[in-house]
């Protein structure tokens, strides 16, 4: 099993955190609508697990607000149900993905009112470059592990099972990401995006789904550039 294949599985699942976060907090109803506060509250509860403003705006209890972030992680980990990720590593990856999500960088800016009562809210994003920054280190360690296995077998050692090798590759990638997280994350050049906030058929304000998808793609940079 190649290191690239493992990485290609893990990266999209990490991104699911962001997609699910957007969906979980996308609709709010406000009697006195402040679009900037609304967008800030949705993003903060979804990505940062900061619930105070979300509770105040929506009126939901603390446990329900906290559940937004946790349900996002549940959705991310569901991507691994059919993967060979070892069961014992799943809790560690879940916690890691949560820590990564909390490190995404966005700044809610000015709002322009549009026709029909909708709003355009500017958001400045600095893409997290963790996955691009750690790709070479992961490849190197995976290759070193493959070399160790080869040397061991050549000297008469037992060939590890596919499950054992897959488990080790997942452990290697977890270690690489964790070390980078502990060392301090880097961010790419700031980019601006716009979130359009408008009423849905029920008369409730929501952020346009396509805008949230664009934001999600900007928050984490993959190898070779920012994901679309």
pLDDT-flagged residues of the chain (< 50): 3, 24-30, 225-228
- Here the tokens at position 25 are 């907090």
Where do runs of H (alpha helix) occur along the chain? 3-24, 35-43, 52-58, 62-78, 90-102, 130-154, 162-183, 209-219
Residue 30 is predicted with a pLDDT of: 37
Query: Which residues partner with 198 through β-bridges?
Result: 206
pLDDT at 116: 85
pLDDT per residue as tens digits for the range 161-175: 999 999 999 999 999
Rounded to an integer, what distance in angstroms lies between the CA atom of residue 17 and that of residue 13? 7
Which pLDDT belongs to residue 227? 41
Per-residue b or e along 13-44, where b marks 16 or more CB atoms closer than 10 Å to that residue's CB: bbbbbbbbbbbbbbebbeeeeebbbbbbbbbb
Q: What is the pLDDT of residues 192-211, one digit of tens each?
A: 999 999 988 888 788 898 99
Q: What pLDDT shows up at residue 10?
A: 55
């Amino acid at each position: 099993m190649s290191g690239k294949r493992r990485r290609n599985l893990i990266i999209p699942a990490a991104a699911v955190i962001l997609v699910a976060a957007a969906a979980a907090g996308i609709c709010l109803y406000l009697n006195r609508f402040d679009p900037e506060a609304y967008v800030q509250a949705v993003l903060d509860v979804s990505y940062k697990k900061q619930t105070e403003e979300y509770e105040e705006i929506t009126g939901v209890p603390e446990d329900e607000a906290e559940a937004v972030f946790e349900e996002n992680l549940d959705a991310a980990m569901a991507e691994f149900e059919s993967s060979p990720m070892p069961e014992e590593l799943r809790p560690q990856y879940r916690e890691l993905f949560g820590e990564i999500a909390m490190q995404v960088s966005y700044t809610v800016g000015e709002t322009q009112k549009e026709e029909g009562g909708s709003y355009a809210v500017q958001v400045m994003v600095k893409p997290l470059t963790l996955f691009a920054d750690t790709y070479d280190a992961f490849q190197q360690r995976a290759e070193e592990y493959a070399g160790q296995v080869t040397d061991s077998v050549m000297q008469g050692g037992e060939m590890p099972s596919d499950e054992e090798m897959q488990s080790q590759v997942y452990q290697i990638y977890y270690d690489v990401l964790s070390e980078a997280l502990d060392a301090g994350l880097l961010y790419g050049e700031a980019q601006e995006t716009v979130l359009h906030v408008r009423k849905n058929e029920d008369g409730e304000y929501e952020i346009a789904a396509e805008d949230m998808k664009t934001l999600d793609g900007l928050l984490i940079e993959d190898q070779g550039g920012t994901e679309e």
